[in-house]
Amino acid sequence: MPLEFSAQSKQRIERVLSRYPNKQAALLPVLHIAQDEFGHLPDPVVELVAKTVDVSPAHVFGVVTFYTMFHRARHGRNELMVCTNISCMLRGGYEILHHIEQKLGVKAGQTTPDGAFTLVEEECLAACANAPMMICGQDYFLDLTPQKVDTILDDLRRRWREEQKMSGAQSTLHGVGPAPGAKV
């Protein structure tokens, strides 16, 4: 059976398409909708998006691999984007990144075994005056210190655990559930 968007996503896509002069122009918002629904953008999803906006899968692949906000592989529930560009670097951005790596037990570009976090090193997140900083979802965390990071990570993990309890131990939020044998 071929992959399809849910009815809700199809409605969202129709609304998006109505705002653009042609389907191809709606590629970025349709990719966001696809990633929201499927959690990441593997080949079958890339092909579905290509069909939806009438472009080649190669074109969609090029866009997906160009922008860092799109993910080809599963990501954790909380994506931590840590800035290491010049302002953040000069004010401890790499120290913050390494502190998070140590605290979570993963390197930049990896996801924790329980699916709670994916750590990403970013070039610039546009908050230079408050370096070092990171983004998780829609939240900006500014003027970071290792102590602030510990508090943030503890809070995010607590919220993730609450979501897990509410949805059952084998949650598939964004397609990611606990790893087999992971302690939730």
Q: Could you tell me the sign of the dihedral formed by the alpha carbons of 1, 164, 137, 112, in that order?
A: negative
Q: Per residue in 95-143, pLDDT tens?
A: 999 999 999 999 998 999 998 999 999 988 889 999 999 999 889 999 9
What is the C-alpha R_g of the chain?
Answer: 18
Distance CA 163, CA 82 (A): 24
Structural domains of the chain ordered from first start: 7-66 (1.10.10.1590), 78-175 (3.40.30.10)
Q: Per residue in 71-102, pLDDT tens?
A: 888 888 888 999 999 999 999 999 999 999 99
